[in-house]
Amino acid sequence: MTKLMLALLLSSTSITSAFAATLPVAATDVSQSWDTLYWFLIWVSGIFFVGIVLAMIIFVVKYRKEVHKKSKYIHGHTGLEIVWTVIPSILLFVMFGWGWAVYKDMIHAPSDAMEIHVIGKQWMWQFVYKNGTSSIGDLYVPLNKPVKMVMSSEDVIHSFFIPNFRVKQDVVPGMYTYVWFEAKVPGIHQIFCTEYCGTSHSGMLGRVIVLKDDQWKDWQQGKKIDVDSLPADPSFPGFRANRLGEGMPSTAGTSSTSGGQISLAEKGKALTTAKGCVACHSSDGTKIVGPSYKGIYGTDVKLADGSTVKIDENYIRESIENPTAKVVEGFPPSMPPYKGLVNEEEIMAITEYIKSLK
Amino acid sequence: MSSHSSEGDLVKHGDNYINHSAGIKSWLNTLDHKRIGMMYLFTVMIFFLIGGFFALGIRLELFSPGMQFMTPDTYNRFFTYHGAIMVFMVIIPLIPAAMGNFILPMQLGAKDVAFPRWNLVSYYIYVTGALIAASTLFLKGVDTGWTFYTPYSIRSNSSATFVLLGAFIMGFSSILTGLNFIVTIHKLRAPGLTWGRLPLFVWALYATSIIQVLATPVLAITLLLLILERTLGIGVFDPKLGGDPVLFQHFFWFYSHPAVYIMILPAMGVISELVPVFSRKPIFGYKAIAGATFGIALVSFIVWGHHLFVSGQSEFANFVFSLITMFVAIPTGVKVFSWLGTMYKGSLRFDTPMLYVFGFLFVFTIGGLTGVFLAVVSIDVHLTDTYFVIAHFHYVMVGGTIMAFLGGIHYWFPKFSGKMYHESLAKFACWLVMIGFNVTFFPQFIVGTLGMPRRYADYLPQFTNYNRASTVGSWILALGLFITAYNLFRSMKTGKAAGDNPWGGLTLEWQTTSPPPFENFKYDPVVTEGPYEYKGDRIGMGINA
Amino acid sequence: MSTSQGVVTSAERHHAHHFESGLAEFEACKQGMWIFLVTEVLFFSGMFLLYAILRVFYPSMMHDAHHLLNWKMGALNTVILICSSLTMALAVSAAQRGEKDKIVRYIWLTFLFSCGFLVVKFFEYSHKIHEGILPGALWHYEELKAAKAPLFFSVYFVMTGIHGLHVIIGMAVMLWLIKRAKRNEFGPEYFTPVEMTGLYWHFVDLVWIYLFPLLYLVS
């Protein structure tokens, strides 16, 4: 059955292309496998829908009371009932399994993915790069390289959505969430906020600017990129992708600052001194009051209550904001909570600093 | 379902529940389930009108990109009111509380529901809650969306607290109705009306009531916590105070997903009534349909997480919820196929209620199949929170519930009023509703797949054509609904006498006069066979037979 | 049991017209009451779930925070409520036998125990309000540093507050029962309201029996 559908799907490219305009361009490999699955679902449900409607039409013609005066006295048919329970069940399991396989590719970033931090706030997207640069509204990424977004929100829940990449993820205050993609089409791609976040929700737009190698190098060196000369969003060739819709109310700025050439990790290092962290935490492996930062990122540690936890971004965030929640075995629960004393960007910088201490 | 008592004159025509006692007070203080049902029906219709007004406002604003005549804040209030009113005040009570109240005891052969006084209390609780929520229209309004997601709903500078309070209060009404129905079904069935002979509408209401009783208390505590969050700042859902905003979504959808089935199961029950009557054939697979009803009710409690696929919940949770959600499609499919099986070799009549059945099957199938798309976790990632979701649940809620409701109201109108509506006008309106509905919502599937997010006051110019089509469709749909309302209201006064059993139905409500007398039946009915025993050209045991 | 004052007594009272018999009506009421109690369980379960989540994620905070509660007061209230459940059960059996004076006496006793419960609760609450041990944003108690301790007290106040509300509602119903019992309305033929209130009261008691160890005796 499945093979037949696939054959149908492939052999009828003409029909598919007629419908293709109903999907945005697939600008990543994951999007392409998403699209294949999507068309499979369209075909299966299309066949069911046409079948049901066809049956209805046939019954209307054949069994209307004018031509079929006496109804047949039937209460059911066990065999038929089993068939129409079992066949859809099998199809549903196929859909689920296939869907799950695609999903795994969607959420698991390659280990060499470049990380970019995303901060959602009413009503703008801020992107912070490893080298300390940040930009608002426009996200600059290299072509053909996996990029992982490490996202958090400063106020309410937002959702980061790039239709051309088929990725979407809520951006939640108080925790990190992630999406990743590897853009295969240079130029501009639309970003939307898809979780309702107040007045200018519909103005909380952005653009992914996918740069070819040389442009990416230029941008990293702080050169200005002429975005308007780049190809428009391929999903809507007739329209320029919007960072801010015309006439859309938004407080989002338009700058793409590349000043302050100090890396995020360096900022974090400065902060650990400024905030007094170094009084208890060393960066060279020596034990003062609390654990040293050195080489802990990504490791599993044993906690005072006997459980183990992996040190990742969320653990570091929690240990800054609410240190006594998960205390490492052998250390006193004496650190005060820093909740409200550090902002998103600072937590991010400190996390980067800890990560950098291999 | 034949009843021995139906032979001979039951009650002398003229004495019925409408003229049994006179004066406005005799209605406001009534304990008669039929009058309470009618009061629900009219109240719900008033809120349907208000909710529809907001819907038309939304569509008008979205006719073109850019802001037309609203500010974004106004628009945000429009979609919030549209959602909150339609969900809490219209669709949840629409079929169970309005139609169910009238029909359920009659189909059971009972004189009333088990607790008539609580039934009336339930109505007034509903009115109180609805008025408290609606009063915010004259205050600062509410802009949180009907889902009240934290932390936005905590910080929102609006009258959200009163809407939460209203929804909290209306929950008790829902609980009381469900409780009343369960006990009524258990304790007040006519002699001979065994579980295997219950009409499928009763089975549907039974499953619905169980959901209402089990899920609504969880909504109550959730809303109460959010009210306390807004008034006292208790912090459990507020990340600034150490709480977890996603936890709110789990609490909220633990109720609100089953609530979706509170909305659709009774509609399926109505369809199960209509199909055999107008096919003149026993229902195909009675046990399968009743079982599927309970299958859906059961599964509804363990699939809420599919609303949170992109919320940041764990990969494992997504796996489990996606898998379980798949199971919803199986019993739903069984029902659709069984209805088709009932028509097979039937002797089909195309009165207005049956026309709505065809409409229902057409749009509900689309709604159901697109639901499978959203259940597949990877597909959902792209489609969730876009207009695809809007289109999907309108195909289920409007295409499903409202179509079934319209079919049901035309079917039972002669029983409610004793009059017959204008048939060709009703059919014309049915076509308008059908066309208008599809023109409104089908383009939304496409524009959603292309990426247009929901709850957008403004949109990118590339989405314009789809939105225009949608807006024009909403006018056709509204016209169809207005004509229907006009037809029914006018026919209450000027319609021809319908007779007691115009459709030749076999369920018990047709075995008494129209409109029914004060305590439904003059003699206590006794049941001797199943509800859909249409044999050949048998018209039924109705009074007109 | 008929009296000469012309009031409706239990034996004379007619069941509602849509039921076959008084027994059928009683059975229906009982089923309705049990369903109602199921909704109550689910209502509280939302809060218990919240508690469980905090307990799993912040065990040490929960441990530190619970020391601010006075377990002796909690234990006293547990004893009081168990006693009230006993007197309530005695009232129900008196109603079944139609012993008017005993019904009134036992319901009054239950009422007094409930008052006792509320008095203890009042002292607990006022002490905490005075110290600033308050839920969420209202918290201004300086001596406990555990970061999420205010959340413990959010749960504490919401749970005990809603439980207290249930106690007060139960007391109001008791006054109504006393009034009806004095009019000699209950007896072997009709004791539904007393029985239903009894079920409700045992439920309220049971909730406290869970609340007490969970809140006061975290270990």
Phi-psi region of B31 (alpha: psi -120 to 50; beta: other; left: phi over 0): alpha
* pLDDT on residue B1: 45
| SS3 letters across B472-536 | HHHHHHHHHHHHHHHHHHHHHHHCEECCCCCCCCCCHHHHCCCCCCCCCCCCCCCECCCCCCCCC
Instruction: Quote the crossing angle between the two packed helices B403-417 and B101-108, to the nearest 10°.
Output: 70
pLDDT category at A280 given cuts 50, 70, 90 is: confident
For residue A135, give the DSSP letter. Answer: E
Contacts of B458 in chain A (CB under 8 A): 202-203, 245, 247-249
Half-sphere exposure of B101 (CA within 13 A, CB side): 26
Pick among C55, C57, C60 to test the A interface (most A CBs inside 10 A): C60
- Whether A199 and chain B come into contact, CB under 8 Å, resolves to yes
- φ and ψ of A210, to 5 deg: -90, 120
In the β-sheet with A124-128, what is the strand arrangement from edge to edge?
A134-136, A124-128, A114-121, A147-153, A177-181
Structural domain spans, chain A:
2-107, 114-229, 264-356
Which of B340, B459, B537 has the CB atom closest to A69's CB atom?
B537
pLDDT category at A10 given cuts 50, 70, 90 is: low
**Can you say whether the dihedral through the CA atoms of B172, B175, B180, B181 is positive or negative?**
positive
Within-domain flag for C150:
yes
Which H or E run includes B61? helix B33-61
Interchain pair A235, B345: CB under 8 A: no
| Amino acid letter, residue A341 | L
C-alpha span between B329 and B309 (Å, rounded): 18
pLDDT category at B542 given cuts 50, 70, 90 is: very low
Question: Has domain B4-511 been given CATH number 1.20.210.10?
Answer: yes
Task: List all residues of chain A from 229 to 248 with a beta carbon under 8 Å from chain B.
Answer: 235-236, 238-239, 242, 245-248
The residue among B372, B375, B437, B371 whose CA lies nearest residue B404 is: B437
Which of C27, C38, C136 has the CB atom closest to B232's CB atom?
C136
Instruction: Quote the crossing angle between the two packed helices C59-66 and C149-182, to the nearest 10°.
Output: 60
Contacts of A321 in chain C (CB under 8 A): 147
- Per CATH, which fold does A2-107 belong to? Helix Hairpins (1.10.287)
Sequence-distant (≥ 6) Cβ neighbours of residue A286 within 8 angstroms? A292
Is pLDDT above 60 for A15?
no
The residue among C120, C133, C126 whose CA lies nearest residue C71 is: C120
Q: What is the dihedral of CA C188, C194, C198, C204, to 10 degrees?
A: 170
| SS3 letters across chain C | CCCCCCCCCCCCCCCCCCCCCHHHHHHHHHHHHHHHHHHHHHHHHHHHHHHHHHHHHCHHHHHHHHCCCCHHHHHHHHHHHHHHHHHHHHHHHHHHHCCHHHHHHHHHHHHHHHHHHHHHHHHHHHHHHHHCCCCHHHCCCCCCCCCCHHHHHHHHHHHHHHHHHHHHHHHHHHHHHHHHHHCCCCECCECHHHHHHHHHHHHHHHHHHHHHHHHHCCC
In the β-sheet with A138-142, what is the strand arrangement from edge to edge?
A138-142, A206-211, A187-193, A158-162, A167-171
Interchain pair B453, A194: CB under 8 A: yes
Which of A333, A336, A339 has the CB atom closest to C60's CB atom?
A333
Contacts of A247 in chain B (CB under 8 A): 65-67, 458
The Cα-based distances of B532 to A13, A69, B195, B273, C113 in angstroms read 48, 18, 14, 9, 57
Contacts of B114 in chain C (CB under 8 A): 18, 28, 32
Query: Please, what is the average pLDDT of chain A?
Result: 84
A151-208 residue pLDDT tens: 999 999 999 999 999 999 999 998 999 999 999 999 999 999 999 999 889 988 888 9
The Cα-based distances of A19 to A47, A300, B367, B453 in angstroms read 16, 49, 19, 20
| Closest CA of chain C from A339, distance in Å | 8
Contacts of C146 in chain A (CB under 8 A): 324
- Whether B239 and chain A come into contact, CB under 8 Å, resolves to yes
The alpha carbon of A332 is separated from its chain's Cα centroid by a whole number of angstroms, namely 38
* pLDDT on residue A70: 86
Task: List all residues of chain B from 21 to 80 with a beta carbon under 8 Å from chain A.
Answer: 65-67, 72-73, 76
B114-162 residue pLDDT tens: 999 999 999 999 999 999 999 999 999 999 999 999 999 999 888 999 9
User: ∠B136-B142-B145 over CA atoms, to 5°?
Assistant: 140
* pLDDT on residue C197: 96
Mode of pairing for the β-strands spanning A114-121 and A147-153 = parallel
More confidently predicted of A100 and A122? A100
More confidently predicted of A222 and C147? A222
Q: Which two tokens mark A46?
A: 């299309």
Rounded mean pLDDT of B1-19?
56
Which H or E run includes A314? helix A313-321
Contacts of C28 in chain B (CB under 8 A): 114-115, 183, 186-188
Interchain pair B182, C154: CB under 8 A: no
User: CB neighbours (10 Å) of residue B392?
Assistant: 25
ipTM exceeding cut-off 0.95 for this assembly:
no
pLDDT category at C199 given cuts 50, 70, 90 is: very high
Is pLDDT above 80 for A228?
no
Query: How many H helices and E strands in chain B?
Result: 18, 2
Domain enclosing residue C153, as ranges = 22-216
| CATH architecture observed for domain A264-356 | Orthogonal Bundle (1.10)
Q: What percent of chain A has pLDDT over 70?
A: 85
C-alpha span between C40 and C52 (Å, rounded): 18
| Closest CA of chain A from C146, distance in Å | 7
| Closest CA of chain B from A82, distance in Å | 9
Interchain pair B379, A339: CB under 8 A: no
User: Which chains are adjacent to chain C, needing at least 3 Cβ pairs under 8 Å?
Assistant: A, B
C-alpha span between C110 and C174 (Å, rounded): 8
Lowest-confidence range among A247-261, B392-406, B488-502, C53-67? A247-261
Sequence-distant (≥ 6) Cβ neighbours of residue A153 within 8 angstroms? A119, A120, A121, A171, A172, A173, A344
Interchain pair C148, A322: CB under 8 A: yes
Contacts of B330 in chain A (CB under 8 A): 85, 88-89, 92
Provide the residue count of chain A: 358
The Cα-based distances of B73 to A249, B140, B240, B421 in angstroms read 11, 11, 25, 42
Contacts of A157 in chain B (CB under 8 A): 149, 151-152, 245
Beta bridge partners of A208: A139, A189
Which of B322, B350, B462 has the CB atom closest to A236's CB atom?
B462
Residue B453, helix vs strand vs coil? strand
Residues of A with CB under 8 A from a CB of C: 304-305, 321-325, 327, 333, 336-337, 339
* pLDDT on residue B9: 43
Interchain pair B247, C39: CB under 8 A: no
Pick among C148, C151, C152 to test the A interface (most A CBs inside 10 A): C148
The alpha carbon of B533 is separated from its chain's Cα centroid by a whole number of angstroms, namely 28
Class of domain A114-229: mainly beta
Q: Which two tokens mark C209?
A: 């029996």
Number of inter-chain CB pairs under 8 A, A vs C: 25
Report the CATH number at residue C209. Answer: 1.20.120.80
Is pLDDT above 60 for A327?
yes
Domain count, chain C: 1
| Closest CA of chain C from A313, distance in Å | 17
Burial of residue A90, with CB atoms counted within 10 A of its CB: 0-12 exposed, 13-18 middle, 19 or more buried:
exposed
Structural domain spans, chain B:
4-511
The radius of gyration of chain A's CA atoms, rounded to the nearest angstrom, is: 27
Contacts of A41 in chain B (CB under 8 A): 372-373, 376, 379
Which H or E run includes B44? helix B33-61
Buried b / exposed e along A230-246 (16+ C-beta atoms within 10 A): beebbbbeeebbbbbbe
B276-333 residue pLDDT tens: 999 999 999 999 999 999 999 999 999 999 999 999 899 999 999 999 999 999 999 9
Interchain pair B343, A161: CB under 8 A: no
| Closest CA of chain B from C159, distance in Å | 10
Helices of type H across B62-115:
72-84, 92-93, 101-108
- Whether C47 and chain B come into contact, CB under 8 Å, resolves to yes
The residue among B393, B400, B412, B414 whose CA lies nearest residue B491 is: B414
Contacts of B460 in chain A (CB under 8 A): 190, 236, 239, 242, 245
CB B454, CB B447: distance < 8 Å: no
Interchain pair A321, C61: CB under 8 A: no
A40-85 residue pLDDT tens: 999 999 999 999 999 999 999 999 998 888 888 889 999 999 999 9
Rounded mean pLDDT of B105-118?
95
The residue among A144, A138, A140, A120 whose CA lies nearest residue A130 is: A140
More confidently predicted of C106 and C62? C106
Interchain pair A324, C57: CB under 8 A: no
Contacts of C60 in chain A (CB under 8 A): 304-305, 324-325, 327, 333
CB A176, CB A135: distance < 8 Å: no
Which of B217, B247, B519 has the CB atom closest to C53's CB atom?
B247
Q: Which two tokens mark C213?
A: 């160890």
| Closest CA of chain B from A28, distance in Å | 13
Closest-approach residue (CA) in chain C for A326 = C58
Residues of C with CB under 8 A from a CB of A: 57-61, 145-148
- φ and ψ of B3, to 5 deg: -135, 135
The radius of gyration of chain B's CA atoms, rounded to the nearest angstrom, is: 23
Which of C36, C38, C148 has the CB atom closest to B242's CB atom?
C148
The radius of gyration of chain C's CA atoms, rounded to the nearest angstrom, is: 21
Q: What pTM does this model have?
A: 0.88
C-alpha span between A100 and A97 (Å, rounded): 5
Is pLDDT above 60 for A259?
no
Rounded mean pLDDT of B52-78?
93
Burial of residue A11, with CB atoms counted within 10 A of its CB: 0-12 exposed, 13-18 middle, 19 or more buried:
exposed
pLDDT category at A18 given cuts 50, 70, 90 is: low
Q: Which two tokens mark A181?
A: 């993609």
Closest-approach residue (CA) in chain B for A79 = B285
